[in-house]
Amino acid sequence: MVFGVGLIINAVLVAIPVGGSVGALMGIDAHRAATGQKPLFAGGNTEDGSSPGGGNGGSGSTGDGGNHNSTSSVHGTQSTEYCDLSWGITPPSKTEQYTLNPNQWGVDGTTVGKLCMNVTTFKNETYPTKTAPEFSVNWMFDAGPETQPVHAYSNIRVDNVLPLALDSMQELYLDLHWTYGVGNTSAETTSQDDLTTANLNTNVAIDMFLDSDKDKAENGTNAQYEVMVWFAQFGPATQPIGLSDKSKATRELNGTTFDLFVGKNGQGQTVMSWVAQEAVSGGFKEKFTGDIYPLITDLYTLDPSKLKDLTPPSKGDFLGSLAFGTEAFYSNSFVTFSVPQYKIDIRT
Ligand SMILES: *[C@@H]1O[C@H](CO)[C@@H](O)[C@H](O)[C@H]1NC(C)=O
Ligand SMILES: *[C@@H]1O[C@H](CO)[C@@H](O)[C@H](O)[C@H]1NC(C)=O
Ligand SMILES: *[C@@H]1O[C@H](CO)[C@@H](O)[C@H](O)[C@H]1NC(C)=O
Ligand SMILES: *[C@@H]1O[C@H](CO)[C@@H](O)[C@H](O)[C@H]1NC(C)=O
Ligand SMILES: *[C@@H]1O[C@H](CO)[C@@H](O)[C@H](O)[C@H]1NC(C)=O
Ligand SMILES: *[C@@H]1O[C@H](CO)[C@@H](O)[C@H](O)[C@H]1NC(C)=O
């Protein structure tokens, strides 16, 4: 395939909704608050009108409640499928607390396609230290209009830890293994050829929000900085903001080299994206283990002359939100994003 310059420019523009994704979610929360509903992240409600009548998930847990398809119950685990547009899934946990969300914020009556999230919970509610429940996201969408190319940012968030002052943190330890595969079941490993044949357009990324104001840092719309860590960039529709400029910095972490791209999104936020070098050229890195805190601290000392009119964050700023997920643009076949291992340990 050959892509003209015009298409590349479009590709950069359409990357903007990455920044808007969590913001859109916050917008839904504001709507819910205004109409007297529970906040989304507390779990137990839906946006797509198919809400079950009862106020399920009362204690902020949706491990089982709701109009969802609970599937196999194997060896002390339970898998539940959530096809809701937006639903805060907070599985009961005696260990680390996480909230998952299909977060189909770019889907309406005209959308052709479908997305469901499958979460596998432990009945004993006891997960390995700092480790999230296993989950997967199964989807297929036609390409959306240029004004709304992203259908969903299905993601998992850490609860109860943030906001935190950046310099109060010692380590941001990540242990990650994900795969993307064609079809409705989780792939063992990711095959670039299969995904190219399926014309898959998506990314896999951590999305963080930072601000000098603690409250703004928690709000994806108001935060001054969006800091991302990309592990995959599939298809021409999704590119980090600033990719066409040179990389502003490089950092090697336990065998993975990240390049930094910087720019502003449509909301005026400064977006700083560390992209694994495999992903810069349209590939992926499906495993990573190590401390990603240097990807934040490196930003403090960036040469301002390289950043044009943008100022980097500083150590007094706050980290307000941290999510990990995949942005669904389009695909010709059903694909499954699977996360067998996701552990986040924010050490202070
Ligand atoms: C985030 O900020 C926006 C814009 O100021 C506001 O409309 C929204 O209610 C805020 N969201 C939350 C969850 O506070
Ligand atoms: C619910 O799960 C069952 C068992 O896996 C499956 O046969 C059925 O098709 C599912 N229903 C929907 C609506 O997805
Ligand atoms: C909790 O359940 C999971 C899944 O069955 C099991 O692997 C784990 O060992 C159990 N943990 C404890 C502390 O019982
Ligand atoms: C959900 O995930 C579990 C664990 O990977 C799997 O056994 C189950 O078949 C999946 N269910 C659906 C509906 O995808
Ligand atoms: C995958 O699941 C969708 C429904 O979610 C179904 O329409 C499709 O036929 C399935 N594809 C395969 C290959 O089983
Ligand atoms: C580096 O990655 C390997 C797996 O590739 C992991 O076993 C090891 O613990 C990691 N090292 C650090 C310091 O995190």
**DSSP codes of every residue in 59-86:** TS--SS-SS-EEEEEETTEEEEEE--SS
Identify the pLDDT of residue 74. Answer: 83
**Ligand 6 atom nearest residue 289's Cα:** 2
Give the HSE-up count for residue 254: Cα atoms under 13 Å, Cβ half-sphere: 14
State the DSSP code for 248: S
- Rounded Cα–Cα distance for residues 160 and 19 (Å): 22
Residue 197 included in any domain: yes
For residues 21 and 208, the answer to whether their CB atoms sit within 8 Å is no
219 lines ligand 1 (CB under 6 A): yes
Instruction: Determine the Cα–Cα distance for residues 246 and 331; give it in Å rounded to an integer.
Output: 29
What atom of ligand 1 comes closest to residue 30's alpha carbon? 9
How many angstroms separate the CA atoms of 19 and 271, rounded?
A: 8
Closest by CA to 128, choosing from 346, 347, 344, is 344
What does the DSSP assignment read for 160-216? Answer: SS--EEGGG--EEEEEEEEEEEESSS--SS--HHHHHHTT-EEEEEEEEEEESSHHH
Is residue 279 domain-resident?
yes
Residues within a 6 A CB radius of ligand 3 = 75-77, 122, 124, 126
Domains of the chain: total: 1
Number of residues in the chain: 348
Task: Report the separation in Å between the CA atom of 29 and the middle of ligand 2, taken as the mean of its atom positions.
Answer: 30
- 275 forms bridges with which residues in the sheet? 230, 259
Q: Ligand 4: which of 79, 89, 119, 341 to mutate, judged by most atoms within 8 Å of the beta carbon?
A: 79
Instruction: Evaluate whether residue 183 is within a structural domain.
Output: yes
pLDDT at res. 85: 93
pLDDT of residue 67: 64
Structure tokens at 248: 């502003």
Within-domain flag for 14: no
**What CA–CA distance (Å, rounded) separates 75 from 134?**
14
**Cβ count within 10 A of residue 34:** 8
Beta strands in the chain (DSSP E): 69-74, 77-82, 98-101, 113-122, 134-141, 152-158, 164-165, 171-182, 201-211, 225-234, 250-253, 256-264, 270-276, 287-291, 318-330, 335-347
Residue 48 β-bridge partners: none
Establish if 6 belongs to a structural domain.
Answer: no
CA of 253 to the centre of ligand 6 (A): 10
Instruction: Please report the pLDDT score of residue 69 as a whole number.
Output: 77
Ligand 5 proximity of 114 Cβ (cutoff 6 Å): yes
Atom of ligand 5 nearest to the CA of 116: 5
Residue 346's Cβ-side half-sphere holds a number of Cα atoms within 13 Å equal to 22
Q: Does 18 fall in a domain?
A: no
What's the whole-model pTM score?
Answer: 0.84
Residue 260 lies in a domain: yes
Q: What is the CATH number of the domain that holds 125?
A: 2.60.120.180
Angle at 49 between CA 45 and CA 52, to 5 degrees: 55
Domain hosting 170: range is 28-347
9 found inside a domain: no
Query: Average pLDDT by consecutive 10-residue portion of the chain (348 residues)?
Result: 31 33 41 39 33 26 53 87 92 93 93 96 94 98 91 94 96 98 98 97 97 94 96 94 94 98 93 97 96 98 89 96 97 98 96
Ligand having the closest approach to the CA of 135: 4
